[in-house]
Amino acid sequence: MATNIEIKARVGDPAALRAKVEAISDTAGQYIPQEDIFFNSPQGRLKLRILGDNQGQLIYYERPDSAGPKQSDYFISHTQEPGTLRDVLTRTYGVRGVVRKGRWLYWISTTRIHLDQVEGLGSFLEFEVVLSDGQSIEEGQAIAAALMEKLDVAGSDLIDAAYIDLLERQATG
């Protein structure tokens, strides 16, 4: 399993945050429309990310529901047949829900920065500090904390859940 350190935060001013991210990013932003189909899973979370008719990723991950920088362990399997895989997984596990978003992806060293516009939820920032072999959880958490400070992300902006959880809370709220 690969490991990263993640944070997710609500964003009040997406344009201002995007300018800050672009000022420190190692790469130009890449826009990626995504549809994440979450399946019922006895543990962790299982989703099929559809990136196009012939491109998708099956992602399984385990992550605590806490607001600060947290460890996320995951597997990713790439597919060129996301529609067929969706049908198989739907019949096998049942669909928990769907998250549709537009994502701007940036890189700062080994950290993926996501600026997300999530249908039905709003604007969010996500860091994924990709840990290399031998790099500690604490090192990843320190990198995330430093980026939070650079980008003026307040602790009160952090959220403790995946987008699918937020959509479910909203539906039952």
**Residue-wise pLDDT tens digits, 85-111:** 999 999 999 999 999 999 999 999 999
Supply the pLDDT for residue 172: 87
Supply the pLDDT for residue 68: 84
Structure confidence by residue, pLDDT tens digits, 19-64 = 999 999 999 999 999 999 999 999 999 999 999 989 999 999 999 9
Supply the pLDDT for residue 87: 98
CATH of 2-172, one of 2.30.40.10, 2.40.320.10, 2.60.40.650, 3.30.470.20: 2.40.320.10
**pLDDT exceeds cutoff 80 at 173:** no
- pLDDT bin (cut points 50, 70, 90) of residue 67 is confident
The chain-wide mean pLDDT, for the chain, equals 95
Supply the pLDDT for residue 1: 85
Burial group, residue 91, by CB count within 10 angstroms (0-12, 13-18, 19+): exposed
Supply the pLDDT for residue 35: 98
Higher pLDDT, 80 or 1: 80
Percent of residues, the chain, with pLDDT higher than 70: 100
The answer to whether 38 touches 47, Cβ cutoff 8 Å, is yes
**Which secondary structure element, helix H or strand E, spans residue 68, and what is its range?**
none
CA angle 115, 166, 121 (to 5 degrees): 50
Look up residue 140 and give its two tokens. 């990843």
Residue-wise DSSP of 4-33: EEEEEEE-S-HHHHHHHHHHH-SS--EEEE
Residue-wise DSSP of 28-51: --EEEEEEEEEE--SSSEEEEEEE
Chain centroid offset of residue 72 CA: 10
0.85 exceeded by pTM: yes
Supply the pLDDT for residue 60: 97
Domain boundaries defined on the chain: 2-172
DSSP-derived 3-state class of residue 151: coil
Look up residue 165 and give its two tokens. 């959880």
Structure confidence by residue, pLDDT tens digits, 113-128 = 999 999 999 999 999 9
The answer to whether 62 touches 73, Cβ cutoff 8 Å, is yes
- What are the b/e assignments for 12-34, b being 16+ CB within 10 Å? eebeebbeebeeebeeebeeeeb
Supply the pLDDT for residue 89: 98
Supply the pLDDT for residue 78: 98
Cα–Cα distance, 19 to 152 (Å, whole number): 12
